[in-house]
Amino acid sequence: MLSKIDKTKFNTLIEINVLINSNYGDIHALLVQILESATRLCQSEASSLLLVNREKRELYFEAALGSKGSEVKNFTVKLGEGIAGWVATHNKSIIVNDVKNEKLHLKKIADMIDYPSKTMLAVPMRLKNECIGVIELLNKKGSGGFTQDDCDWLEIFANQAALAIGNAQNLEKVRNEVESLKEALGKDYHVFIAKSPVINEKLEIIERVAKTDSSVLLLGESGVGKELFAEQIHLKSPRAAKPFIRVNCAAIPEGLLESELFGHVKGAFTNAVQNRKGRFEAADGGTIFLDEIGDLPLSLQAKLLRVIQQKTFEKVGSDSSVKVDVRILAATNKDIEILVEKGEFRSDLYYRLNVLPIYIPPLRQRPEDIPELADFFLKKYRAETKKQFAGFSSEAMEEMLSYSWPGNVRELQNCIERACVIGRDEWIQKKDLFIKNTPYLEEQNGESGRNLKAAINTFKVHYIQKALEENNWNQTETAKVLDIQRTYLSRLIRELSIKEK
């Protein structure tokens, strides 16, 4: 017959096991729950769960409970150092009921956080007989110390924690493989991320534009994502199953660009040892995207105009015409009208390309996209750097929302990649971003107040939504965390149109 406490422990183990086998989404929360159960059932005042980092040969605190739990998480312990380090190295449990006279005890942490340890129980977390971490219980409640029965039960909890970590690692591996397959299958196209009203309006225009064969001129600053909009036009068009060919007119030397675009025949010039198809011929039936069209040499502009008007061209070194059916999308960050006035760009070509102009606004004019893009890039580089960042701190997000992003989406992507490389905390911090921030003010247009308000509201939405998600959308608990009245939180949710994802 099981005692009452045994029944409680077994029921707790069953509950935890169900969570582990149901692909529990938040591994950190699950480990905390396991630690809370072990602390409660073994009747200790405080506890911690440390994970082993084999590369650095140290243990770090994944979770810590008790009055000094938040302070403990700032420390690491070397393998072999202290009681936890000894357990991790020897893969054995240890009961210490006289910590003061225990030689293994690492006194410096206890002294620094001012938390005296009297009794301690530490057991290894084993995965395939390898110690991947340690669970420690501190200060048994009551007058006695930890018993062998406590040790046996804690080892069971430690095995549960190791199982949860193993499942999480396997799930992460599968997710990475799936993402790799997705990337391999769709490697020619980018994922399109947008939430701002202004970009959604552009997408509605693209839906209509895509159904035609008219030329489109995409305008906007460098790095705003003009190529992604070109991809969307192609993917939403009747030509989606046909080739989508990209050409960066500024990246190819002028002497090679004509051959690159239109191809050449054998002997047309030195090293032309065989016939070669150009990009227009490769795009036959599909779409060609000419990026940085403002850098196209005048000598090739007439030939491009002929392709648009007559759908024919000659390869370099050939007198024979090649007929193609290609839709032309072009993009530039230059003011082509000024180039036309200077005689550096043909006016007739400009008018033919400018049938359907679409201006892509810079990132500073669509702050609603910043949190979405930042989260997307974080997931991408978190996988590449093999670091488990939980997200961005509120200070980091506020910093990104108040920055002008002169390099637009490309600069934001580089910023997040750098932060993932150098970041060391659970959350990406403001210091990891390395942003030399000067808040953006459109003084010339007198729009600084409106943009500042939009950035603040965007930050509020992101911050409140994140707090709600962490509290399972319980408004009462969220209001406590945010230190505001529940009625005020409800009003903010309504005014900012915050919805559960």
CATH number of the domain residue 417 falls in: 1.10.8.60
What does pLDDT average to over the chain? 84
Residues 81 and 226 in one domain: no
Q: How do residues 184-201 score in pLDDT, each as one tens digit?
A: 444 468 889 888 889 999
Looking at the structure, do residues 276 and 292 belong to the same domain, yes or no?
A: yes
Determine the average pLDDT of the residues in 160-175.
78
In a domain, residue 230? The reply is: yes
Report the candidate in 452, 456, 481 with the shortest Cα–Cα distance to residue 467.
481
| Proportion of the chain above pLDDT 90, given as a percent | 43
At 453 the pLDDT is: 61
- Domain membership flag for residue 381: yes
Task: Provide the pLDDT for residue 446.
Answer: 42
**What does the block give as tokens for 7?**
């029944």
Amino acid identity for residue 19 in this structure: L
For 210-219, how does the pLDDT look when each residue is reduced to its tens digit (9 = 90+)? 999 999 999 9
| Same-domain status, 322 and 264 | yes
Q: How many CA atoms lie less than 13 Å away from 7 in the CB half-sphere? A: 4
Mean pLDDT of all residues in 73-90: 90
Q: Which of 319, 339, 361 is the last residue of a domain?
A: 361
Give residue 410's domain range.
364-495
CA dihedral 192, 198, 204, 207 (to 10 degrees): -40
Give the tens place of pLDDT for each residue, 99-132: 888 888 888 887 888 888 899 999 999 988 899 9
Looking at residue 62, what is its pLDDT?
A: 87
Residue 187 lies in a domain: no
DSSP 474-500: -HHHHHHHHTS-HHHHHHHHHHTT---
Measured between alpha carbons, how far apart are the two ends of the chain, in Å?
48
My answer on whether 328 and 438 are in the same domain is: no
In a domain, 491, yes or no: yes
Tell me the per-residue pLDDT of 359-416, one tens digit each, with 9 for 90 and over. Answer: 999 998 898 899 999 999 999 998 888 888 888 988 899 889 888 899 999 999 999 9
Tell me, yes or no, whether 374 and 464 share the same domain: yes
Do 127 and 56 form a contact (C-beta atoms < 8 A)? no
**Each residue of 301-313: pLDDT tens digit?**
999 999 999 999 9
- Side-chain-facing half-sphere of 286: CA atoms under 13 Å: 19
Confidence at residue 186, expressed as pLDDT on a 0 to 100 scale? 44
Q: What is the CATH number of the domain that holds 117?
A: 3.30.450.40
Stretch 442-460: mean pLDDT, rounded? 55
The Cα–Cα gap between 480 and 468 comes to 11
Strand blocks (E) in 13-111: 44-53, 58-65, 76-78, 94-96
Q: How many CA atoms lie within 13 A of 266 on its CB side?
A: 3
Q: Write down the pLDDT at residue 283.
A: 92
Instruction: Specify whether 282 is located in the same domain as 420.
Output: no
Is 501 within a domain? no
Assess whether 104 and 142 both reside in one domain.
yes
Where do we find the tokens 């036309």? 340
The pTM assigned to this predicted structure is 0.56
* Domain co-membership, 28 together with 48: yes
**Overall domain count for the chain:** 3
Which positions ≥6 away from 471 have C-beta within 8 Å? 477, 478, 481
User: Which among 331, 298, 315 is positioned nearest to 215, based on CA atoms?
Assistant: 331
CA-wise closest residue to 406 among 223, 267, 246:
223
Q: How does DSSP classify residue 309?
A: H
CB 326 within 8 A of CB 288: yes
Q: Are residues 386 and 480 in the same domain?
A: yes
Final residue in a domain of this structure, among 361, 379, 395: 361
Do 155 and 209 fall within a single domain?
no
Q: According to the 3-state scheme, what is the secondary structure of 249-288?
A: CCCCCHHHHHHHHHCECCCCCCCCCCCECCHHHHCCCCEE
pLDDT band at 272 (very low <50, low <70, confident <90, very high): low
- Would you state the pLDDT for residue 442? 42
CATH number for the domain including 353?
3.40.50.300
pLDDT digits (tens, 9 = 90+) for 2-46: 444 567 777 777 777 776 666 555 677 888 888 888 888 888 999
Are 150 and 74 contained in the same domain? Answer: yes
Question: Does any domain span residue 68?
Answer: yes
User: Is 192 part of a structural domain of the chain?
Assistant: no
Portion of the chain with pLDDT greater than 70, in percent = 89
58 pLDDT higher than 50: yes
**Both tokens of residue 204?**
């509605």
Least confident of 35-39, 279-283, 383-387, 470-474: 470-474
Contacts 24+ apart (CB under 8 A), 195-203: 195/368, 195/369, 195/371, 195/372, 196/366, 196/367, 196/368, 196/369, 197/368, 198/361, 198/365, 198/366, 199/361, 199/366, 199/369, 202/229, 202/358, 202/360, 203/232
| pLDDT, position 175 | 61
Q: Which amino acid is at 81?
A: E
Examine the domain organization and report whether 216 and 246 are in the same domain: yes
Q: Are 281 and 321 in contact (CB under 8 A)?
A: no
Cross-strand pairs, 46 = 138
Last residue of a domain, one of 334, 361, 388: 361
pLDDT bucket at 350, cuts 50 / 70 / 90: very high
Q: Across 327-460, where does the E strand assignment appear?
A: 327-332, 356-359, 391-392, 427-428
- Assigned domain for 256 exists: yes
**Is 50 exceeded by the pLDDT of residue 83?**
yes
Confidence grade of residue 459 (pLDDT, cut at 50, 70, 90): confident
